[in-house]
């Protein structure tokens, strides 16, 4: 049964190379077998952040990694209850996203019931994530509102400085440092303040400046409206015939 489960993990989750099960899959299997903890969500989170950051740095490209999970999260948690999620085409989705407002977004769900937040790992000022494609850091200082706590001031620069590991075979020292940092997880709870999703202080000004720096909001796409074909003018006989039919209907 163990061999069967390991094969399924390797085929379904990470079919990278034929007849090969990568180490991420083995870690997931062992964590679930011995501690009943599934690391699948952590791997998906790391790969999704890595793909998004890579696409942003290269100014374009497709996101194929865990796209259904990303879409499910977006439609489930981004909008408040009652907001209608309709089937949209590419330009309509882009238009909706670029016109999102603060009031539409569902910042926090009471069902999550989060008491403590992972804010830092080891010597890293933020949270490094290991995935199957590479490594990227996650910055809780920018997501604290999404975790149900208020943002009172701009984050420290070091806590939001991004880094990426593109080739995991060439930066083994960095990977070992990241692994060891997860033995020293720093969490915060009450010191973050009372539970609310407000923004206070000078954070709004900092956010406006950051929006300009990272080139947000994106330019809204021009919605293409198909023109109505020009019809040829009707003859006088056709007009008189239509008038007669209309008179019959009215009677």
Tell me the per-residue pLDDT of 171-216, one tens digit each, with 9 for 90 and over.
888 888 888 898 899 998 888 877 777 887 788 888 888 888 776 6
| Token reading at 113 | 């019931």
Say how many domains are in the chain: 1
Token pair listed for 69: 């999970």
100 lies in some domain: yes
Across the range 96-109, mean pLDDT stands at: 75
Confirm whether 20 is domain-assigned: no
The answer to whether residue 7 sits within a structural domain is no
Share of the chain above pLDDT 70, in %: 74
Q: Is the pLDDT of residue 231 over 70?
A: no
Let me know if residue 142 belongs to a domain: yes
> pLDDT band for position 227 (50/70/90)?
very low
pLDDT of residue 228: 45
Strands (E), 107-246: 117-121, 127-130, 135-138, 164-165, 185-188
* The dihedral sign for the CA sequence 83, 85, 89, 90: positive
pLDDT of 129 higher than 50: yes
Is 3 part of any domain? no
Mean pLDDT of 232-250: 80
Q: Give domain status of residue 153, yes or no.
A: yes
Residue 12 lies in a domain: no
Its domain, for residue 163, covers 39-213
Residue 123 lies in a domain: yes
Beta-carbon contacts of residue 65 (< 8 Å; ≥ 6 apart): 47, 48, 50, 51, 133
Q: Residue 148, Cβ neighbours under 10 Å: how many?
A: 20
Structure tokens at 117: 């937040």
């Amino acid at each position: 049964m163990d061999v069967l489960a390991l094969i399924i993990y390797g085929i379904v989750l990470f079919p990278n190379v034929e007849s090969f099960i990568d180490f991420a899959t083995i870690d997931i299997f062992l964590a679930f077998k011995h501690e009943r903890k599934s690391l699948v969500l952590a791997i998906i989170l790391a790969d999704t952040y890595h793909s998004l950051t890579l696409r942003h740095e290269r100014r374009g490209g497709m996101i194929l990694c865990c796209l259904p999970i990303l879409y499910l999260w977006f439609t489930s948690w981004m909008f408040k209850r009652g907001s209608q999620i309709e089937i949209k085409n590419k330009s309509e989705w882009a238009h909706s996203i670029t016109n999102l407002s603060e009031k539409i977004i569902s910042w926090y769900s009471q069902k999550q019931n989060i008491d403590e937040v992972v804010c830092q790992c080891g010597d890293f000022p933020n949270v490094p994530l290991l995935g199957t494609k590479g490594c990227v850091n996650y910055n809780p200082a920018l997501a604290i509102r999404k975790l149900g706590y208020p943002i009172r001031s701009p984050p420290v620069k070091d806590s939001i400085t991004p880094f990426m590991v593109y080739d995991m075979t060439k930066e083994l020292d960095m990977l070992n440092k990241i692994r060891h940092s997860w033995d020293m997880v720093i969490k915060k709870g009450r010191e973050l303040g009372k539970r609310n999703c407000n923004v206070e202080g000078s954070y709004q000004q900092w956010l406006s400046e950051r929006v300009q720096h990272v080139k947000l909001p994106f330019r809204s796409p021009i919605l293409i409206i198909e023109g109505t074909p020009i019809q040829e003018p009707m003859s006088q006989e056709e007009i008189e015939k239509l008038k007669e039919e209309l008179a019959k209907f009215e009677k």
